A = this chain, B = another copy of it.
């Protein structure tokens, strides 16, 4: 398929009767299965072509589902005895966790019964189980977690990766992140030709660690293979910038940046609320401005940007915040749904394969796969 035909997710042609099946882990989130089932109900009402495989305690889940008319006939409960807890170590879950709802959720994806998976559980364990059961895509060295970041650009979100799948990344890994992040931005967010930037401590070419300068060269030479533009180094202040769509970094730095940004937004929001409660005049002012303040809150609400996507595996896994409520769970499911509906997984696999091929062909100056996705 040529890149000219590369459609945004909204316009992907599809057979009318095709159902999108999402595998959902009902357990392990901070708010328990009731919040997850409430999120399912919201998503089911919004998207008529979603069905669910729901993993966890069968008696409990069947009762919760039965109370939601929107879910009638659209959920199959898959019983799992065990639950992965937030404090469980990934290595321990790999050894003893095959009876858990998380494991079962990924297993449905592996067997092709679902087209994407969603969990609010322990991130480290979810990545470990996904790695071991789904395996890495051929050609991928380190999988990555991509998150969404409120943007001042033409679309409401930028993408940042890796935000914590791995704690390090060398230059070829960062190149793969660029490619995977760009593919995600096209298929999940409707970007046409995403602009990729590499996170660094300055924008000048001589700045930063040696592997970043190597990665800069690799990414600059892969823009045609990857169907993206490269804007070079960007800084921490550029994460919400209109000049970049996909920000590439190692998982240690990305995790710190993600949590710093979330923490700062939360702090400013709390201080704003305190200020507006501080005097009678400001309380009156807040009443008048309430509509606008509510719209602002919606715009920066972390629940609406909920969903880290695991990239580079044989299957699409969306990690929802552990503390997600029904709105948050529904946002994560919608993201999984869009990616499944766009055929993202197959496109990403082709893209990674063509990168590997282009690297092989590089000696011959032969870049015949440059425009496939």
Contacts and interface: CB of A to CB of B under 8 A. Distances in A.
Interface string A281-318: 11011111111110110011000000000000000000
A195 to B, nearest CB: 17
Interface in A228-257: 235-241, 249, 251-253, 255-257
A318 B342 CA distance: 53
B286 A289 contact: yes
Tell me how many chains of this kind the complex includes: 2
B261 A278 contact: no
A236 B259 contact: yes
A357 to B, nearest CB: 33
A113 interface: no
A155 interface: no
A275 interface: yes
A266 interface: yes
Contact of A152 (B253, B267, B272, B288): B267
Contacts of A285: 284-290, 292
A343 interface: no
A297 to B, nearest CB: 9
Question: A150, A208, A237, A300 — which one has the most chain B CB atoms within 10 A of its CB?
Answer: A237
A286 B295 CA distance: 15
Give the contact-size bracket for chain A.
Answer: 35 or more
Contact of A259 (B235, B269, B290): B235
Contacts of A259: 235-237
A21 to B, nearest CB: 33
Contact of A300 (B89, B258, B271): B271
Contacts of A12: none
A18 interface: no
A276 interface: yes
A202 B258 CA distance: 13
A98 to B, nearest CB: 22
Given A264-B240, A268-B269, A209 B252 contact: yes
Contacts of A276: 289, 292
A155 to B, nearest CB: 15
Q: Which of A241, A266, A285 counts the most B-chain CB atoms under 10 A from its CB?
A: A285
Contact of A256 (B199, B262, B269, B284): B199
A238 B263 contact: yes
A206 interface: yes
B295 A288 contact: no
Given A278-B292, A281-B288, A282-B291, 13 more contacts: A201-B256, A235-B259, A236-B257, A236-B259, A240-B267, A253-B253, A257-B257, A261-B263, A261-B264, A271-B296, A278-B295, A281-B291, A286-B289
Interface of A: 87, 89, 124, 150, 152, 164, 167-168, 199, 201-202, 204, 206, 208-209, 235-241, 249, 251-253, 255-272, 275-276, 278-279, 281-282, 284-293, 295-296, 299-300
Top 7 closest pairs, chain A to chain B, by CB: A285-B289, A236-B259, A285-B288, A237-B263, A282-B292, A236-B260, A275-B296
